[in-house]
A and B are shown apart, each in its own frame.
Chain A
């Protein structure tokens, strides 16, 4: 089956110039440095990594919002790397994006109804009455009310604004939505609402998501497969279940270990990953992660590991087979009282089932 979206060896390099009059190129920021993946119809691929790892740049490249320096992008088997004009506009109808910051991604001077209708106007979909009807339908889909169409973004909370952004992305009935950290700016309780909404919409419309996040916990409930990025490269890509049960790359393990658990007894048990991500202007030789890796050997400092299959995971680590099993039992779970009451809570919610 042809994947909905397929990118190969995608790269984005930014030249760095210095000098006031005669600017010479003095360096290169390798924001994305050879990334390949595919997203099937109706599935969610999560792209996870720390700030500066190139995940948002990858998302924008995949939609051709910025131009790649190298590599190819295929949408349903058709090469869209160099298209422009009408074919590119047609692609935009089928692939949409939801941004991270619900405060910055909505025009404060446009009513919510106009914001949601704008993609339809740009693409000449329907007449004014049909668009109005569609806006109402979309508002209902994301859990807002018809009267919200006349309101302005400042009248909404962060979670509600994100729902507006999702309604706008849905307006053209796309097949793929790139979600660029859609819940990172929200409270945990509101994150859960938005994650549940995105899953529900996926079920109803068969949407594919490329879901960008910096937190593996968030993607646990969204993703079918997970790709972990570090300094412009994918270091591990695996089906969700195997990634969480048997993380292979030391960086994946560090990301998992960093998640705070709602269990005070496990406090301070893990040593956090030290240091910061190195600058993408000065990517370390060999394995990019070796400067922060607890397992690094001489070989890791000189030879860059390629992605290769280990178990069910593609992993870029020389030592993937030799590493000790990861401790994934962290946070043994809630106490019995908490579990019992959470079950009652789940049952009492609207649509909840009795335990």
Chain B
């Protein structure tokens, strides 16, 4: 694809330990198209947050990006000097997180916090000008009475309002890419629906690209154009949202789908995925999902299966996909 805003190539993020480097992200390649949404889905501990921190060059010590390139409009963010990456953060790429209360400073008014974000990238503007723009930013995220909210503190707002403030702050400098890391996980379903609706509207207004990170395929279905399913540091399936939901191939994707409680179906037990994600220091030798996979056969334990094309614009890393063909007598 040529119109990708962000292109991640063979990214590998490792953590140093006495026993050698431990991979948290292990050879991930992805593209985020201009003005579209890439959903990255997987359970806690699968490396999806570490991937987004790698893009922003915010990997905490003792972690580091070992190999790979992160190209924003063709410019490798990993090769930029520190001063240049600071300009990229906030201005070109902004980020929102799961728990808005811990991301906001409790002792500053929300207006001051938005103005701070603006000032960091636009030192020349006057206070009055910034104030006006901050109020406008609050209005854009549909916060009622933005002039009054401007002077309020985070504890005076509901969870949904706080997430709106975070979005306002993230969008203050009109970034071209917004990374939303579990933006609705801590919220009620009704508020989640409001926030997803808002993100869709803002994307239509501004033409920004979004990386949406979540453990919930339902949320992905609401938002994403492209989907990448991550497991234990690797992408195990990716494709257009349509392909992933209409033709899910990887057993892990099937497990995530089966875990969603459905309203339209009477089923006694949910199709849970048994077990948990292996920690990055104890990865199985072959396919990383093999120990939890109901379709596992012995060759699965030998080599890590590469992503291969299973349909147009659709890749899966499973030697048995499509499973019905593999199971046919």
Residues of chain A whose beta carbon lies under 8 Å from any beta carbon of chain B: 50-51, 157-160, 187-193, 195-196, 199, 214-218, 220-221, 244, 254-264, 266-268, 270-274, 276-277, 328-335, 337-338, 340-342, 344-346, 348-350, 352
Contacts and interface: CB of A to CB of B under 8 A. Distances in A.
Interface in B221-270: 221-224, 241-242, 245-249, 251, 254-265, 267-270
Given A189-B256, A191-B259, A258-B192, A329 B43 contact: no
Interface string B159-182: 111000000000000000000000
Contact of A345 (B242, B247, B254): B254
B120 interface: no
B281 interface: no
Nearest to A271: B197
Given A334-B257, A345-B251, A187 B44 contact: yes
B217 A262 contact: yes
B85 interface: no
A51 B188 contact: yes
Nearest to A221: B261
Interface stretch (B70-78, B86-94, B272-280, B298-306): B272-280
B246 A344 contact: no
Contact of A273 (B193, B216, B247, B254): B193
A56 B323 CA distance: 44
Contacts of A259: 189, 218, 263
Given A260-B218, A333-B264, A345-B294, A272 B194 contact: yes
A216 B274 CA distance: 23
Contacts of B129: none
Given A158-B44, A187-B215, A341 B270 contact: no
B22 interface: no
Nearest to B292: A189
Contacts of B276: 157, 159-160, 190
A189 B272 contact: yes
A273 B190 contact: yes
Contacts of B255: 189, 345
A329 B264 contact: yes
Nearest to B294: A348
Nearest to A272: B193
A335 B273 contact: no
B119 interface: no
Nearest to B260: A262
Contacts of B248: 337-338, 341
Given A199-B269, A258-B193, A337-B247, A188 B256 contact: yes
A338 B257 contact: yes
B189 A215 contact: yes
A270 B193 contact: yes
From B216, B261, B274, residue with most partner A Cβ within 10 Å = B261
Contacts of A187: 43-44, 215
A264 B244 CA distance: 10
